[in-house]
Amino acid sequence: MPHSAIPPRGDDGAPRRAALLTLGCARNEVDSEELAGRLEGSGWELVDADGEGSAPDVIVVNTCGFVEQAKKDSIDTLLAASDAAKATGAKVVAVGCLAERYGAELAESLPEADAVLGFDAYPDLAERLSDVIGGHAPAPHVPVDRRTLLPISPVERPAAALDVAVPGHAWVPNLSRTRLSDGPVAPVKLASGCDRRCAFCAIPSFRGSFVSRPPDDVVAEAAWLGMQGVREIVLVSENSTSYGKDLPGGTRALVQLLPRLGSVPGVDRVRLSYLQPAEVRPDLIRAIATTPGVAPYFDLSFQHASPAVLRRMRRFGSRENFLDLCERIRDLAPEAGIRSNVIVGFPGETEEDLQELEQFLIGARLDAVGVFGYSDEDGTEAAGYDGKLPPEEVTARVSRISALVDELMAQRAEDRVGTEVEVLVEAEEDEDFECTGRAAHQAPEVDGECVFERGSGLEVGDLVRAVVVGTEGTDLVVSPRELLPRSDLDAAPPRSAATAGAGRESG
């Protein structure tokens, strides 16, 4: 039979088996679960990459290509997968941002990967993997600037996007997404791509122009996740504040979407990520801060506070603007979580610029801050800038700002002692570790966590009202007060969290 008609079954008649490894951000997690759904819908079986149980026929590595360390991690994972595959004869296939961004160049430099597939291969992934197993790997794609694949006018993009592969946008229940984790938190894609031209960022070139998902699709996917036991959804995109610019309702579409998501049965917390400070409008602040079911959490990409540095970055704002934004948020929600990332050592950054950033951080009292040292990225405007700082100076500035941030975040955590928080449990207590979870002001992985006192008897997926009784650096030590029922259950009045363990044992 022609190689393209090879069925998803091995010589023993069993289904072909694939393992998926995911690196990078939550957007990649969504993409991997869409790929998993496509494979299962085509008759494939999903297995663990470590070979426990049935060994995979192919290991698919969903790579990240954002910054140098992420690229290195992706390469290391591909090499490790190749070593593991030697024992079983499995094929190794690279997909994701690194594969899309470098294509044939990656394939040439990494012969350990049996195939390098770009985003355009995603709709037919099962067929492409069958080709690889059959010894007919498709030629690596030649990367293009994906911004050229959609119209310049945003309102013309939704129709055009039907003919362009946009990972994470398909939605057919039980077909286009398969959960790869049974945890109580799941990301949901709000949009893909970005229209901004930040001088340090290459993402738009390989993720493409900004395209919103239809609001009904977002709500339907959230409802499906709620039925899978998910209690918190995290809305992700490259720039969530642009959501709706290409839809009939315009950018008010996000303000209108949040209440719909906040009332989805089973989902008790909706979290919005990736906000551009210059695009945050008063109505959006109010919607995030006051809508029932929506976490008062603001993930604001400040990047710096010096107007001169921000201009060179092709961004907007100042210390005064950003402090005013933080104040307006806390006027509506005093306990709101505010986090950000900053880049130090950007070309031309002076000592005065760095001091301006320090003064902003001291005044803003952010809950969490990621500190990154500038490094050149292929294809970005900043890579050609003059005024590059020596690497050792960039490292010194990262250390300086990181030390300040650690102190400020610890102080912010101490400010929360005595307050009430609602904590979603994500790890149960065992003999080595305490039970942990996250409050509304803490996003998965990037922020601190809440640590319960031992003997709480709580389980993964519990939502608990608790009191902050202490801190461990940026983490909060909390004492449980009561369990909160899922939003879709007509449960009895909440019982004391202290009785949770006993109730489960007797049930």
Q: Which residues are annotated as a binding site for [4Fe-4S] cluster?
A: 25, 64, 97, 194, 198, 201
The CA-atom distances, in angstroms, between 26 and each of 170, 247, 315, 498 are 16, 24, 24, 34
Give binding residues as ranges: 25, 64, 97, 194, 198, 201
Q: Which of 414, 396, 498 is nearest to 452 (CA)?
A: 498
Show the 3-state SS of 300-365: ECCECCCHHHHHHCCCCCCHHHHHHHHHHHHHHCCCCEEEEEEEECCCCCCHHHHHHHHHHHHHHC
Owner of token pair 């959804």: 233
The CA-atom distances, in angstroms, between 146 and each of 203, 313, 376, 389 are 10, 22, 21, 31
Q: Which of 446, 416, 410 is nearest to 185 (CA)?
A: 446
Q: Which two tokens stand for residue 304?
A: 């710096």
Q: How far apart are CA 419 and CA 296, in angstroms?
A: 15
Decide if 60 contacts 129 (C-beta within 8 A).
yes
Q: Which of 447, 359, 452 is nearest to 409 (CA)?
A: 447
Owner of token pair 């102080």: 411
